[in-house]
Structure 1
Amino acid sequence: MIRSDRRSWPLAIWLALLSGYVDAIGFQQLGGYFVSFMSGNGTMLAVRLAAPHGPLAGAVAILAMLLALFVAGVLVGTLIRLALPRIGQVAVLLLVALLLGGVGVLGGWTAPAMVLAMGAANATFERDGEVSIGVTYMTGTLVKIGQHLAHTVAGRELWGWLPYLLLWSGFLVGAGLGALAYPLWGLASLAAAVAGALIAAGAAWRLCPAA
């Protein structure tokens, strides 16, 4: 994964920070639902379906919509990568910026736009048709930290866990920044996310293979 292309580390960590930032804003805007952490939404959906009259009843349609929009974002992002193999990474990140800015802030469809953007962001890093670095879901990253720490303890490698720790830390820092920004500026906080996505697109352009 990350170890295979060290040039991708800084961009991946930056996007993890961006994803954490957007997720924290979305979490507050939606009153406890996630725009990038779909495992959490999936658990909440299952609980509500299993106990429709319990203390957590309701919001099934909202959760189902969030999950569907996330998958749709991944689908669109992947199609872009397939259609534009050389500059697909850049195009995906420009789409993320467009969704967070043009549609999210100006169009009034903020929550769907955030979810679509976070889904699409996961198509940024692909290898052989599969996601090579997930930038919005961190459970797998924690697993990688544990696996590579085991290899370190066994004497097989020294620093293999570090990029995954930086990836997770980036997400955590971003979420903290989003949690601080939203009470102060509301949805206008997404302007920083748009800028972050544009910066990422510029960095991705520099990583594009030669024609």
Structure 2
Amino acid sequence: MKEYGHRGVLLATTLSALAGFVDAVGFLTLGGFFVSFMSGNSTRLGVGLATGRWAEATTAAGLICLFVVGVVIGGTVARRVGEGRRSAVLLAEALLLFVAATLGTLGHPGPGMVAAVLAMGVENAVFQKQGDVGVGLTYMTGTLVRMGQRITTALHGGARWDWLPFLALWLALSGGGALGALSYLKIGVLALWLALAVVVALAAGTWLAERTGKATRDRGEPSTG
């Protein structure tokens, strides 16, 4: 993750925390289904099919399909505006979280979770690079594998601390999940408004950084990103 610089690592870590937060709210709202962790939903799909729990299998399959649609939306936005303009993807995520929070506030948490799942799919395009995911933000299995690989490299004479950013991503998602659960226990699905506020702030900050970076490049000065 070194290629993304300190700002990029901080953004990725914050978005992982956000994914954990929203996932916890969705998990409690949906009674044990996930809005960002599709490996868990895939397991529930398989178990539901094997045990004849068709309603559970249908719910899991629907969530997985929605997530993929969200990834397509995010990837399309990134391609249209340029993969370097992360603020546009963040804005798309913010709009979907606004819909989710609004529906939840109006007493329609189920439909609200549809928008939340789409938002989590969109988030994965923030670090899209040449059409592929640069950093996995809403799932941690691959991140933990990469951390283990970097630790192995360090133990065999390689870079000593390259595993730390991956640890930070995992800690952020886990911590975000805890905060999301606590928030849900206090204010229910209204906790999504807190997630929305974070994404709006990230989108605004990223947009300003992009404008500053563009102005710097236009003047021919070296970028500090």
- Do the structures match in fold with TM over 0.5? yes
Conserved 8 A contact 2:83-2:129? no
Alignment of 1:128-143 (within 5 A): 128-143=130-145
Q: CA deviation at 1:96?
A: 1.2
Q: In 2 relative to 1, CA 194–124 (structure 1 residues): closer, same or farther, beyond 3 Å?
A: same
CA 149–86 in structure 1, closer or farther in 2 if over 3 Å, else same: closer
TM-score calculated relative to the size of structure 1 = 0.93
Choose the corresponding residue for 1:89, options 68, 86, 90.
86
Please list every run of 5 or more consecutive structure 1 residues that lacks an aligned counterpart in the other structure: none
The 1:205–1:120 alpha-carbon spacing in structure 2 relative to 1, beyond 3 Å, is same
Q: In structure 1, what is the Cα distance between the partners aligned to 2:43 and 2:83?
A: 37
Q: Which has the higher helix share?
A: 2
Q: CA RMSD in A?
A: 1.5
Higher relative contact order (CA 8 A, sep 6+): 1
Distance 1:22 1:32 in 2: 13
Alignment partner, residue 192 of structure 2: 190
2:91 is aligned with what amino acid? L
Which residue number in structure 1 is paired with residue 9 of structure 2?
A: 9
Q: Which runs of 4+ in 1 moved over 6 A?
A: none
Percent of aligned positions that are identical: 42
2:33 aligned counterpart, secondary structure: coil
Q: In the alignment, is the contact (CA less than 8 A) between 2:83 and 2:128 conserved in 1?
A: no
Q: Say whether 1:121 aligns with 2:120.
A: no
- Deviations along 1:132-152, one digit per CA (max 9) or x if unpaired, are 001101111100110000011
So what's the TM-score if we normalise by structure 2? 0.87
Quote the offset at 1:99 in angstroms: 1.1
Distance 1:144 1:86, change over 3 A: closer
Quote the Cα distance in structure 1 between the aligned partners of 2:32 and 2:133: 27
Q: Secondary structure at the match of 2:101?
A: coil
For residue 180 of structure 1, what is the aligned residue in structure 2?
182
Aligned length: 206
Cα offset, 1:88, TM superposition: 4.0
Query: Considering only CA atoms, is the larger Rg found in Structure 1 or Structure 2?
Result: 2
Local SS of the residue matching 1:105: helix
Alpha-carbon distance in structure 1 between the residues aligned to 2:2 and 2:180: 29
Q: What is the aligned partner in structure 2 of residue 171 from structure 1?
A: 173
